[in-house]
């Protein structure tokens, strides 16, 4: 019965997105919510934004189709995510149309995060080793940490929204991963919300994959980042040092790209908020990969992160913590090597690759 509802939820959400996206495209042109090409952007013609509205409406529509049939799920948490998402979508839509000031955009994100927190969804820090006992009952600590997570992930996904189908595809992979993990560590609420969110993303991707007919805009990237952040909180409440890494792995692509962007600007002595063309997708394009191949490469990276998250979750259920740290260590090393190889931090400073090269030379001489 539950699997049938999952199928109904996914299919209905996908169909709603397929039907609504062309209408949202017309709406975007009508109200002037368009994206103009410039030196930092890849597209060369005026494109409609606001596509995330179709994903959101598909998500809400499918939820109200499936949820009345269910009884055993967290209605309060689902309502909090829906209300918070409504605020984040309105914020993104206003920015897509009017390019509102960053402080007003941040205010909308904080209000949306506050709604989720008000409905009882918080990162529980009480089980953290060493400091957990000190934090039990200290809601004033968990509240800002939760808000920071929600706002941070929303903006991280927004930063990678630079190529056709990139944010939607990466979000779809992350959403599918959360759905799989919600079956391993059972959570009906997370399973339901993630599968209908995935349906909306897949339906929208028919119009958004290269060559895109519409962009999701801030409406979509903020909503998807916010929804994924909220679902990860709901699905991983056991906040040990290791289990806190699972949602970070799921969202590895946007979070690592954001972290590397901050590091790059610090290394090059530029303001952290300064825009540039050195994000992951920019670097891959500069290496000569086509638009479509670049997106597929990043999909592959997202799948590696997601596969690692699933493996770590299974290992945690078997209390094999050492293997989890081994996987994470290997991922971090590969991330550092990859970042240096494509020059995402600096085109000249490549200490790890230089070290590996020197080791190789020493081995060659010794032989």
Per-residue pLDDT reduced to its tens digit, 167-204: 999 999 999 999 998 888 888 899 999 999 999 999 99
Contact 230, 81 (CB under 8 A): yes
pLDDT at position 38 is 61
The angle, 0 to 180 degrees and rounded to 10, between the axes of the packed helices 252-267 and 291-317 is: 110
In a domain, 29, yes or no: yes
Domain residues for the domain of 58 are 2-357
pLDDT at position 186 is 81
Model confidence over 30-43: pLDDT tens digits? Answer: 999 998 776 555 55
Q: Looking at the predicted structure, is the pLDDT value of residue 135 above 60? A: no
- Structure confidence at residue 243 as a pLDDT band (50, 70, 90): low
The angle, 0 to 180 degrees and rounded to 10, between the axes of the packed helices 351-366 and 321-342 is: 100
pTM: 0.90
The tally of domains found in the chain comes to 1
Q: Of the ranges 137-146, 246-255, 299-308, 331-340, which one carries the lowest mean pLDDT score?
A: 137-146
pLDDT at position 342 is 85
pLDDT at position 125 is 65
Contact 170, 159 (CB under 8 A): no
Q: Looking at the predicted structure, is the pLDDT value of residue 367 above 70? A: no
Task: Measure Cα distances from 307 to 34, 167, 314 in Å.
Answer: 36, 18, 11
In a domain, 42, yes or no: yes
In a domain, 362, yes or no: no
Please indicate whether residue 159 or residue 136 has the higher confidence score (pLDDT): 159
pLDDT at position 130 is 44
CA–CA separation, 316 and 313 (whole Å)? 5
pLDDT at position 265 is 82
Top-confidence range, 27-36, 132-141, 354-363: 27-36
Q: Looking at the predicted structure, is the pLDDT value of residue 241 above 60? A: no
In a domain, 59, yes or no: yes
pLDDT at position 236 is 65
pLDDT at position 100 is 92
Angle at 107 between CA 251 and CA 137, to 5 degrees: 70
pLDDT at position 235 is 72
Binding residues for Mg(2+): 158, 218
Model confidence over 259-300: pLDDT tens digits? Answer: 888 888 887 777 776 777 778 888 888 888 998 999 999 999
Angle at 56 between CA 64 and CA 53, to 5 degrees: 135
Mean pLDDT calculated for residue range 241-245: 57
pLDDT at position 129 is 47
In a domain, 230, yes or no: yes
Average pLDDT over the chain reads 86
pLDDT at position 283 is 87
In a domain, 367, yes or no: no
Task: Quickly count: other Cβ atoms within 10 Å of residue 215's Cβ.
Answer: 28
pLDDT at position 6 is 93
Model confidence over 69-127: pLDDT tens digits? Answer: 877 778 899 999 999 999 999 999 999 999 999 899 999 999 999 999 999 888 766 55
Exposed / middle / buried, residue 114 (Cβ in 10 Å: 0-12, 13-18, 19+): middle
In a domain, 363, yes or no: no
In a domain, 364, yes or no: no
Binding residues: 158, 218
HSE of 346, CA atoms in CB hemisphere, 13 A: 13
- Which candidate, 305, 326, 300, 331, places its Cα nearest to that of 315? 326
pLDDT at position 39 is 56
The three state secondary structure string of the chain is CHHHHHHHHHHHHHHHHHHHHHHHHHHHHHHCCEECCCCCCCCCCCEECCCHHHHHHHHHHHHHHHHHHCCCCCHHHHHHHHHHHHHHHHHHHHHHHHCCCHHHHHHHHHHHHHHHHHCCCCCCCCCCCCCHHHHCCCHHHHHHHHHHHHHHHHHHHHHCCCCCCHHHHHHHHHHHHHHHHHHHCCCHHHHHHHHHHHHHHHHHHHHHCCCCCCCCHHHHHHHHHHHHHHHHHHHCCCCCCCCCHHHHHHCHHHHHHHHHHHHHHHHCCCCCCCCCCCCHHHHHHHCCCCHHHHHHHHHHHHHHHHHHHHHHHHHHHCCCHHHHHHHHHHHHHHHHHHHHHHCCCCCCCCHHHHHHHHHHHHHHHHC
pLDDT at position 218 is 94
Q: Looking at the predicted structure, is the pLDDT value of residue 242 above 60? A: no
What is 256-310 written as a DSSP string?
HHHHHHHHHHHHTT--TT---S-SHHHHHHHTT--HHHHHHHHHHHHHHHHHHHH
pLDDT at position 136 is 52
Model confidence over 292-328: pLDDT tens digits? Answer: 999 999 999 999 999 998 898 888 777 777 888 899 8
């Amino acid at each position: 019965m539950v699997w049938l509802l999952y199928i109904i939820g996914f299919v209905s959400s996908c169909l709603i997105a397929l039907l609504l996206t062309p209408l949202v495209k017309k709406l975007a042109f009508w109200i002037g919510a368009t994206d103009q090409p410039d030196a930092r952007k890849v597209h060369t013609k005026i494109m409609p934004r606001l596509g995330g509205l179709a994903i959101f409406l598909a998500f809400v529509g499918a939820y109200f189709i499936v949820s009345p049939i269910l009884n055993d799920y967290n209605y309060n948490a689902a309502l909090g995510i829906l209300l918070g998402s409504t605020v984040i979508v309105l914020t993104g839509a206003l920015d897509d149309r009017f390019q509102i000031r960053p402080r007003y955009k941040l205010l909308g994100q904080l209000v949306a995060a506050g709604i989720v927190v008000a409905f009882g969804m918080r990162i529980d820090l009480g089980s953290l080793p060493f400091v957990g006992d000190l934090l039990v009952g200290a809601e004033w600590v968990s509240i800002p940490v939760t808000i920071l997570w929600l706002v941070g992930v929303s903006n991280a996904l927004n930063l990678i929204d630079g190529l056709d189908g990139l944010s939607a595809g990466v979000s779809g992979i992350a959403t599918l991963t959360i759905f799989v993990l919600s079956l391993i560590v059972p959570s009906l609420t997370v399973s339901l919300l993630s599968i209908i969110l995935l349906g909306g993303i897949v339906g929208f991707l028919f119009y958004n994959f290269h060559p895109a007919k519409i962009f999701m805009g801030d409406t979509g990237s903020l909503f998807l980042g916010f929804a994924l952040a909220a679902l990860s909180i709901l699905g991983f409440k056991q906040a040990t040092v290791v289990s806190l890494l699972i949602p970070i792995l799921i969202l590895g692509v946007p979070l690592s790209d954001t972290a590397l962007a901050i590091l790059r600007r610090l290394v090059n002595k530029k303001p952290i908020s300064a825009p540039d063309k050195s994000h992951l997708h920019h670097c891959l394009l500069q290496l000569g990969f086509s638009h479509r191949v670049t997106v597929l490469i990043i999909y592959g990276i997202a799948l590696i992160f997601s596969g690692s998250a699933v493996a770590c979750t299974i290992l945690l259920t078997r209390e094999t913590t050492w293997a989890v740290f081994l996987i994470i260590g290997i991922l971090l090393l590969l991330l550092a090597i990859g970042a240096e190889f494509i020059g995402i931090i600096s085109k000249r400073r490549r200490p790890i690759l230089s070290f590996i090269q020197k080791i190789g030379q020493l081995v060659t001489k010794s032989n």
